[in-house]
Amino acid sequence: MSCLTVKDLKVGYDGHAVAEGISFQVNAGDYLCIVGENGSGKSTLIRTLLHLQEPISGEILYGEDLKRGEIGYLPQQTVVQRDFPASVREIVLSGCLPHIGIRPFYGKAEKELAAENMERMGITPLANRCYRDLSGGQQQRVLLARALCATKKCLLLDEPVAGLDPKVTAELYELIERLNKEGVTILMISHDVGGILSYCSHVLHIGKKVYFGTKEEYLNSSAGKAFLAVQEGGRD
């Protein structure tokens, strides 16, 4: 069952295309990895999928059971003011905002959902800490818990592991994989191709040539081989 279908999408700013010819389909429970060079338009694509900006042309179709607002989002950079006073609990709870509609306050259900997701991310002991005093890895977990409050179905993650050390990176990947096993559809941007390819089910490669297919197909395709070679070369 398809929960997101994109047909010949062209994305960019002020009518100027950054990436075009993007077509892919995501089914419920998939783990799609979006790869591509810096500036190839990955973040732009995600922002377009979230209606944060308009597509230049093409179509984005959401599955019947995926209403707008039912997508959790982890931005590449959260522009939080340096001294914003906010506790972890307050931030995670704010992910429940779409559920309360016109009600002014959070009910018991939302508070339980927030507590549950903090437990899932292992940040319950940090609940009363101030967000800005946390480490990068802890902050990512808080934002992931917030995103999980917004959705049970689909998460869009924009470079969740950027700037994290290998150990925390592996932990975060495992968390995300567990979520995927629990039935959450994952779309994730990452430059860490080596790490990510062991987890994902599908790959979308954005660049001059757009490639979409399962992980196995990608690894055997010319686009995949070329990209991996560059990545490996860059690492040596």
Partner 1 sequence: MWDTLLFYLAHAFVWKALIVGVLIALCSSLLGVTLVLKRFSFIGDGLSHVAFGAMAIASVMKLTNQMVLILPVTVLCAVLLLRTGQNAKIKGDAAIAMISVGALAFGYLIMNVFSASANISGDVCSTLFGSFSILTLTDAEVWLCVALSASVILIFIVFYHKIFAVTFDETFAKATGIQTGAYQLLIAVVIALIIVLAMNLVGSLLISALVIFPALSAMRLFYQFKSVTIASAILSVTCAVAGMLISILKGTPVGSTIVAVDVAVFAACCLLGWCQRRLGR
Ligand X SMILES: Nc1ncnc2c1ncn2[C@@H]1O[C@H](COP(=O)(O)OP(=O)(O)OP(=O)(O)O)[C@@H](O)[C@H]1O
Provide, rounded to whole angstroms, the least separation between the CB of residue 104 and ligand X. 34
Whichever of 4 and 223 has its CB closer to partner 1, that residue is 4
Q: Which of 27, 76, 201, 221 binds Mg ion (CB under 5 A)?
A: 76
Q: Which of 40, 43, 138, 180 binds Mg ion (CB under 5 A)?
A: 43
94 binds, among Mg ion, ligand X, partner 1, none (CB under 5 to 8 A by kind): partner 1
| Cα dist from 130 to 9, 73, 122, 180, whole Å | 40, 21, 16, 29
CB 1 within 8 A of CB 63: yes
Q: How far apart are CA 18 and CA 103, in angstroms?
A: 40
Q: How far apart are CA 27 and CA 6, in angstroms?
A: 12
Whichever of 115 and 162 has its CB closer to Mg ion, that residue is 162
64 binds, among Mg ion, partner 1, ligand X, none (CB under 5 to 8 A by kind): none
Q: How far apart are CA 191 and CA 161, in angstroms?
A: 9
Whichever of 115 and 197 has its CB closer to partner 1, that residue is 115
| Neighbour tally for 218: CB within 10 Å | 23
Q: Which of 43, 41, 29 is nearest to 159 (CA)?
A: 43
- 122: Cα within 13 Å, side-chain hemisphere: 9
Provide, rounded to whole angstroms, the least separation between the CB of residue 44 and partner 1. 13
Whichever of 76 and 124 has its CB closer to ligand X, that residue is 76
Contacts with ligand X, residue ranges (CB under 6 A): 13, 18, 36, 38-44, 76
DSSP H or E segment with residue 222: helix 222-235
Provide, rounded to whole angstroms, the least separation between the CB of residue 68 and Mg ion. 22
* Tokens matching residue 227: 């990209």
Whichever of 80 and 226 has its CB closer to partner 1, that residue is 80
Is there binding between residue 51 and partner 1 (CB under 8 A)? Answer: yes
| Cα dist from 18 to 9, 59, 203, whole Å | 11, 16, 19
Provide, rounded to whole angstroms, the least separation between the CB of residue 220 and ligand X. 24
Is there binding between residue 94 and Mg ion (CB under 5 A)? Answer: no
